[in-house]
Structure 1
């Protein structure tokens, strides 16, 4: 039997953190140890294995072929160790779970279910942050964020929670003043509320005669979130195009009127849980994500298969 290496799992955890954070200094900050300690641990690991795992330059840190293989195996082992700890502790979910999402989504879908989630996990502390800005998960020490729309390229891991079709709508007051658009081309003569995201489209998609078309839109108001968009539409400021979950109640009560539904292309606003990869997923994070998959799956507005 080979000799037991007592520090092996610790070396794996440090190595996984270096890869996740993209450098020794960042890993050291998150592990609360010195960069020199991280460097010594990695050097000791490479010496023990007899191979180089990382190539370090002034600009970047990359994995060697052996490093890629070891990283993949280490993540699997660390996850199994974490599962073993959880099993030994009776599967209890403990600690502080930090969750971030937008104000409207958090208010509508997250806050109402948190009491039940805590009742299922009484040893857990849930730390909620609702903001319409995109937070840095690592810098803000956020465990999981729930985000809507297309995700930009990043090193984050994403799990789809649900989806909502988009709808064009306006208030009855606006339509009385400005008239109903009969077809997408009529939007050229209307005030259209748009988003100021860099990834926001300068036009709205429609399906006309079996063909997908992009209708240019313009207006005097641009916003950075769906809740403000809804409020502007309710105030009669123009025509909005948002995820249905934002305005379903207002449409049901007649405060907003859906428009051009026969031209709706059926495109979707996706909802994802995103979290930092590169290591074993804490049990509290995994349980929350699975809980939200089930919870949102029960909502007719956000069913993942709708």
Structure 2
């Protein structure tokens, strides 16, 4: 048990990159964390951290050891969850990386929280390419096809991009009948947060050199929905993000015959012999409800 405590101190320090933060997490002093890790290094015969007056960073040996420790604690947690499953509902912390557009999935996530109140969601919203295993995530939700032999995947559903604007905007500016007409309109493109590039609008039968006039450029989806609703221009948005607005005709689509796009969302998680009850219910719930009509 002393060894498990030292391993836990190491994992907490490695993930927080701080002895102080690890101590707060475990309810002990930073010096106690430092001493526990020093004893662990002495027993292993390797240095796990590079230390300076301000920061700590993992050595190559420490990085390898961290992955092994996560697997150990994952197996322990899985065993506990499998036993707990016979006694009650799934419980415990579930760390999930969501895309930036995941804010628009909050109705589904909120419903999950109500259905499983004993599961603590730890959500990280980012479009960067995360390493699910090395960064200690239980699962990651992303758009597009992802191939990694270390991961299990499940398809959550498809979505389509739509060109939309408010009825008031089209009443004032006219409705575009072909892609070239967009040159006379206020366009609201999305910029990828990771690459800084503009997301191309999936328009068929347009010249390669065709350039949209940009009225505003935004690197998250929610402001684009807000601006389009208020008649500031035309935006290219995923249908799952504007389902309510389309039903209530707050937004209407244009150029449907020219828009050619189908995307897919997947949930991915580390491959192992067992899947914990809390992760299983999360995957099943998202697959059933995220794109439910």
- Asked whether the two chains share a fold, i.e. TM above 0.5, the reply is yes
Show the counterpart of 2:279: 286
Show the counterpart of 1:246: 241
| In structure 2, C-alpha distance between the alignment counterparts of 1:116 and 1:257, rounded to whole Å | 33
Show the counterpart of 1:264: 259
Give the drift of 1:86. Answer: 2.6
Give the drift of 1:80. Answer: 1.5
Structural mapping, 1:170-209, within 5 Å = 170-194=165-189, 202=198, 204-209=200-205
Partner of 2:50, secondary structure, is: strand
Give the drift of 1:208. Answer: 3.7
Which residue, 202, 211, 217 being the options, matches 1:215?
211
Q: 1:264 to 1:13 in 2, by over 3 A?
A: same
Q: 1:285 to 1:201 in 2, by over 3 A?
A: farther
Question: TM-score, length-normalised on structure 2?
Answer: 0.69
Cα offsets for 1:62-101 (capped at 9, x unmatched): 2233x33332222211111222223343364346779998
Show the counterpart of 2:78: 83
Show the counterpart of 2:109: 110
Show the counterpart of 2:23: 28
Question: TM-score, length-normalised on structure 1?
Answer: 0.67
Give the drift of 1:288. Answer: 5.2
| In structure 1, C-alpha distance between the alignment counterparts of 2:218 and 2:63, rounded to whole Å | 43
Partner of 1:215, secondary structure, is: coil
8 Å CA contact 1:230–1:247 kept in 2: the answer is: yes
| In structure 1, C-alpha distance between the alignment counterparts of 2:95 and 2:70, rounded to whole Å | 22
Show the counterpart of 2:123: 145
Which structure has more strand as a fraction of its residues? 1
Give RMSD over aligned pairs.
4.0
Q: Does 1:299 align with 2:283?
A: no
| In structure 2, C-alpha distance between the alignment counterparts of 1:18 and 1:227, rounded to whole Å | 35
Unaligned 5+ runs, structure 2:
142-155
| In structure 2, C-alpha distance between the alignment counterparts of 1:146 and 1:268, rounded to whole Å | 22
8 Å CA contact 1:171–1:257 kept in 2: the answer is: yes
8 Å CA contact 1:273–1:289 kept in 2: the answer is: no
8 Å CA contact 1:52–1:64 kept in 2: the answer is: no
Give the drift of 1:21. Answer: 1.3
Number of residue pairs aligned between Structure 1 and Structure 2: 264
Give the drift of 1:60. Answer: 4.4
Give the drift of 1:181. Answer: 2.0
8 Å CA contact 2:165–2:233 kept in 1: the answer is: yes
Give the drift of 1:39. Answer: 0.8
| In structure 1, C-alpha distance between the alignment counterparts of 2:213 and 2:14, rounded to whole Å | 44
